């Protein structure tokens, strides 16, 4: 079975955010390379099984994805000087830090089931992985460069296993990716 998203999941199109079930062939959608490319094909099918509900920093609407869906992201490492939080170059302890774990961060396609979220709302107990999004307009959070594009990153705050039984949709583009309106970049 293919990977995909719930039908009402909004996709970043050239004009606006649009539900994936309303996307048409040849419609332009944003890809991980930061450009708008036409949809070549649309996959649709019923899926019954485990899924993951996620929330990201700056978007309170949960997104439901299959747990094997690949997401453009960075797997972070916990800061060795703090009991919680990701190691970043903006850390207060950077002058005394020998490890500087952030130097090993790479933007790559990871299955959502292998990413960590900070599920503790009151206190950041664990390091949250960051979801990559092509930088467009004024949407700037954490910025890094790659050979394809420049990305911003949003922390994954909540990740919860759920059971799903409904239709899912997937778009096929020349760049093998598309961007959800909330800032998640998905591999076709």
- Mark out the alpha helices in the chain (DSSP H runs): none
Q: Give the whole-number percent of the chain exceeding pLDDT 90.
A: 12
Q: Sketch out the chain's domains with CATH numbers.
A: 5-187 (2.170.16.10)
* Exposure b/e, 84-98, CB count within 10 A at least 16 = b: ebbbbeebeeeeebe
In angstroms, what CA-CA distances link 135 with 91, 110, 153, 166? 23, 19, 9, 32
Q: How much is the mean pLDDT over the chain?
A: 76
pLDDT of residue 42: 94
Which run of H or of E encompasses 170?
Answer: strand 150-173
Token pair, residue 113, equals 């089931």
| pTM greater than 0.75 | no
pLDDT reading at 58 higher than 60: yes
């Amino acid at each position: 079975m293919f990977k995909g998203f719930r039908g009402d999941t909004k996709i970043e199109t050239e004009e606006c955010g649009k539900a994936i079930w309303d996307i048409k062939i040849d419609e332009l959608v944003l890809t991980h390379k930061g450009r708008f490319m036409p949809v070549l094909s649309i996959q649709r099918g019923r899926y019954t099984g485990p899924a993951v509900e996620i929330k990201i920093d700056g978007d309170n609407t949960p997104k439901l994805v299959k747990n094997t869906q690949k997401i453009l992201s960075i797997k972070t490492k916990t800061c060795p000087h703090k009991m919680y939080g990701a190691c970043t170059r903006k850390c207060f302890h950077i002058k005394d830090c020998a490890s500087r774990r952030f130097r090993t961060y790479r933007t790559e396609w990871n299955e959502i089931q292998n990413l960590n979220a900070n599920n503790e709302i009151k206190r950041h107990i664990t390091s949250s992985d960051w979801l990559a999004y092509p930088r467009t307009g004024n949407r700037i959070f954490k910025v890094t460069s790659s050979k394809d594009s420049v990305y911003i990153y949003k922390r994954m705050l909540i990740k919860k296993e759920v059971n799903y039984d409904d239709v899912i949709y997937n778009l096929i583009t020349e760049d093998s990716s598309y961007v959800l309106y909330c800032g998640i970049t998905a591999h076709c």
